[in-house]
Structure 1
Amino acid sequence: MIIYGIKNCNTVKSALDWLKKHNVEFEFHDYKAKGITDAKLKDWSKQVGWESLVNKRGTTWRQLDEAVQANVKNESAAVALMKEKTSVIKRPLIEREGKVIALGFDEQEYKKVFAK
């Protein structure tokens, strides 16, 4: 299982703390350190929709020019933006065996997803 995110993000920290507390083994992939590929972003878009991947509530999105925001109206524009500004990707994203199993942190959802 791979957790994708940014290590200084509070939501990611909450998710990682929860997973550790519940003895869930994972690998962490930091977008800032390792980047992300177009292929991975496109795969996730097909699984959960590009609209779900773009975090429009975050600081990075709000700091973008209105013209840039307005241009994000399809998968290819969203993928290009997420590749350039990884902080705009909703996080954490959890992938198991190539499938997105969680997006964001919701303790109730994690209890269901990671029930033993």
Structure 2
Amino acid sequence: MKLFGIKNCDTVKKARRWLDEHQVTYQFHDFRKDGLEQPTVEQWLNSVSWEQLLNKRGTTWRQLDDPRKDQLDQQAAVELILAHPTLIKRPVIEDESGVSIGFNESDFQARYAK
């Protein structure tokens, strides 16, 4: 399993803490530090929509001054995400079942508890 996010995000911290407490092995990818590539984002979009991936409630979105913000489609969303990775809802989890977004303890319990 691979968990994508940023290390100081509260939701990412909750997800990582839950995984650690339940001894679930994962690789953490901090896209602020480690970067994010277009093929990765496009792969995620095979499982989730760009609307699900893009966080329009966060600080980055509110402070974003970009004309593409007002007329979004998938291509514009990918371009914005690559330019501003903190626009991604976090965490993004890649595992054998596909891609999921966010942390919900009951979902994690159902998927990963041993």
For the aligned residues, what is the CA RMSD?
1.5
Q: What is the rounded CA distance, in whole Å, between the counterparts of 2:65 and 2:21 in structure 1?
A: 40
Q: Matched residue of 1:33: which SS?
A: coil
Where does structure 2 lack aligned partners over 5 or more consecutive residues? none
Structure 1 gaps of 5+ residues are: none
| Runs of 4 or more consecutive aligned structure 1 residues displaced over 3 Å after TM superposition | none
Which TM-score applies when normalising by structure 1? 0.91
Q: 1:66 to 1:86 in 2, by over 3 A?
A: closer
Deviations 1:29-53 (A, max 9, x none): 0001111111111111121111110
- Inter-partner Cα distance in structure 2 for 1:66 and 1:86: 14
Q: Which of 10-19 and 91-100 deviates more?
A: 91-100
The alignment-based identity, stated in percent, is 45
Change (3 A) 1:98 1:85: farther
| Aligned equivalents of 2:63, 2:111: Cα separation in 1 | 33
- Give the structure 2 partner of residue 63 of structure 1: 63
Q: Distance in 2 between matches of 1:98 and 1:83?
A: 24
What amino acid is the match of 1:93? Answer: V
Q: Comparing both structures, which one devotes a greater share of its residues to helix?
A: 1
Contact 2:68 2:76 (8 Å CA) reproduced: no
- Corresponding residue pairs, total: 114
- The alignment's TM-score, normalised by the length of structure 2, stands at 0.92
Q: CA-to-partner distance for each residue in 1:83-113, whole Å, 9 max, x for gaps?
A: 000000111011014821x311111111111
